[in-house]
Structure 1
Amino acid sequence: MRGISAKSLVDVLAAVDAAKGKAGDLGAELFGVVSTLDGAPALRRVLTDPSTEAEAKVGLAKQVFGGQIGADTLTVLNAAVSGRWASMRDLTDGLETAGVAAEVAAADAAGELDALETELFEVERIVRSDADLRQVVSDRGIPADAKGALLATILEGKVTGATLALATQAAAARTGSFEKVLSTFGETVAARRSRLLAEVRVAYDLADAEKTRLAKALAKKYGRDVHLNIVVDPSVVGGIAVSVGDEVVDGTMSTRLEVARRRLAG
């Protein structure tokens, strides 16, 4: 998000940070607002019309949502509709980002940030490995409520509330595939601690001491703390592959053998 939308988003996120109530409730209500606005293009058009006074847009937002959301959520919504957005879509995308920030804040307050980072990665892997489930959660033709209910039957009681909330929102597939959106949410979690996410693929699970050494080495390389998401994959045979953002360092034995085979084949 750039330009005037980026500036408005800063104000919206500041309103989230200033909220006094339960961050988890704020996140859920903001996601509800996003769902309503996605289905009401005429309302979005008015709320993002630069020729309409901010006071009028705040009044309209209160009229539509006031009886359905708490005071904190209404404050964040007021900040959003008072801002200027380059497009109608930027308003709802900004409110979704605010909802994610609220869920992350709730996890942070509960001491569950580490769990949230790891669980989002594991949920993404579960969905990616099941073709039928992947098709369902990424299908925009299936109602978001139905996809959320499906995810709840699979995940409820096994992950934190914030993880389930973010996975459910990712299933709305507003800005891309389920995996893409969930990965973006994971980056938001990592950013709260100013650290990077690294996917580490190994043939066997690493001991705690090995994980600590690897995390320290990566932190030294990138100049920031790194959270490791470990993938145990026997097919790598030995060695290790590390992905940080778009950078991949593949030192697995399977890759080395494949390179050697290609060289021998000429």
Structure 2
Amino acid sequence: MRGISAKSLDEVLAAVSAAGSGSGDLGTELFDVVATLDREPALRRVLTDPSTEAEAKAGLAERIFGGKVSADVVTVLRVAVSGRWASGRDLTDGLETAGVTALIAAADGKGELDAVETELFEVGRFVRSDAELRQIVSDRGLPSAAKGELLSTLLSGKVSTTTLALASQAAAARTGSFERVLTAFGVIAADRRSRLLAEVRVATELDDSDKTRLAAALAKKYGRDVHLNIVVDPSIVGGISVSLGDEVVDGSMSTRLEVARRRLAG
């Protein structure tokens, strides 16, 4: 998000921060507001019309949503519609980001942020492993509520309520595929502590001391703390492969053997 929309998003996120970490209800209620505005493009246009006074738009939003959502959500919504947005879609995208941020803040406040980051990664792997499920959750033609119910059936009791709420929102596939959106949510979680996300593939599980040493080495290299998402993959034979953003550091034995084979093949 750029320009006037970026400035407005900063103001919305500041309003979320001012509301406190809470229980996470702020986040899920903001997702409900986003769903309503997505269904009502005419309302979205009115609430982002630059020719309408900010107070008038804020008052309209309060009349429509007041009594249906908490006072904190109304406060955030008033700030949102009082801002300037390059498009109506930027408003709803900004409110979705605000909802994610609120859920992440609540998880952090309860000491659950590390678990949520790992669970988001594992949910992404779980969906990728099933082609039919992957297609379903990324299909924008299917009702978001139905996709959310499917994920709830599959994931309830296996992940936290925060992770389930984020996964269900990612299934709305508003700004891209389920996997792309879920990854973006994971980045927001990592940014909460100014961390980077690293996918680490190893042949056998690392013990805690190995994880600590690896995280420290990566933090030294990149100048920021790093959250490790470990994947045990026997096919790499030995060594380790680390993906961090667009950068891949592949020291796996399988890769070394493949390089040697190609050199011998000439």
TM-score normalised by length of structure 2? 0.98
Distance 1:152 1:97 in 2: 21
Q: Please, what is the CA RMSD of the aligned residues?
A: 0.9
The residue aligned with 1:243 is 243
Distance 1:157 1:110 in 2: 18
User: Is the 8 Å Cα contact of residues 21 and 106 (structure 2) preserved in structure 1?
Assistant: no
Q: Does residue 50 of structure 2 align to residue 46 of structure 1?
A: no
Distance 2:23 2:246 in 1: 32
Q: CA deviation at 1:67?
A: 2.1
Distance 1:21 1:109 in 2: 6
Percent identical across equivalent pairs?
77
Unmatched tracts of structure 1, length 5 or more: none
Matched letter for residue 173 of structure 1: A
Q: Which moved more, 1:124-133 or 1:256-265?
A: 256-265
Matched letter for residue 201 of structure 1: R
User: Is the 8 Å Cα contact of residues 61 and 78 (structure 1) preserved in structure 2?
Assistant: yes
Q: CA deviation at 1:109?
A: 1.1
Distance 1:199 1:16 in 2: 30
The residue aligned with 2:220 is 220
The residue aligned with 1:109 is 109
Q: CA deviation at 1:21?
A: 7.5
Q: What are the residue-to-residue correspondences of 1:89-104 with 2, within 5 Å?
A: 89-104=89-104
Change (3 A) 1:253 1:138: same
The residue aligned with 1:143 is 143
Q: Does residue 99 of structure 2 align to residue 128 of structure 1?
A: no
The residue aligned with 2:259 is 259
Distance 2:171 2:64 in 1: 25
User: Is the 8 Å Cα contact of residues 21 and 105 (structure 2) preserved in structure 1?
Assistant: no
Q: CA deviation at 1:161?
A: 1.1
Change (3 A) 1:166 1:239: same
The residue aligned with 2:27 is 27
What are the superposed Cα offsets for residues 178-233 of structure 1, whole Å, 9 maximum, x if unpaired? 11100010010010111111100011100111111100000000011111000000
User: Is the 8 Å Cα contact of residues 21 and 102 (structure 2) preserved in structure 1?
Assistant: no
Distance 2:48 2:265 in 1: 61
Q: Which moved more, 1:250-259 or 1:120-129?
A: 250-259
Unmatched tracts of structure 2, length 5 or more: none
Q: CA deviation at 1:50?
A: 0.4
What are the superposed Cα offsets for residues 1-26 of structure 1, whole Å, 9 maximum, x if unpaired? 01100000010001001115734110
The residue aligned with 2:63 is 63
TM-score normalised by length of structure 1? 0.98
The residue aligned with 2:76 is 76
SS in 2 for 1:174: coil
Q: Which moved more, 1:14-23 or 1:220-229?
A: 14-23
Runs of 4+ in 1 over 2 A off after TM superposition: 20-23
Distance 2:53 2:264 in 1: 71
Distance 2:49 2:223 in 1: 43
Distance 1:259 1:85 in 2: 51
What are the superposed Cα offsets for residues 72-124 of structure 1, whole Å, 9 maximum, x if unpaired? 00000000000000111100000000000000011011110000000000000
Distance 1:21 1:223 in 2: 28
Change (3 A) 1:114 1:47: same
Matched letter for residue 86 of structure 2: A
The residue aligned with 2:17 is 17
Matched letter for residue 48 of structure 1: T
The residue aligned with 2:177 is 177
Q: Does residue 235 of structure 2 align to residue 209 of structure 1?
A: no
Change (3 A) 1:211 1:21: closer
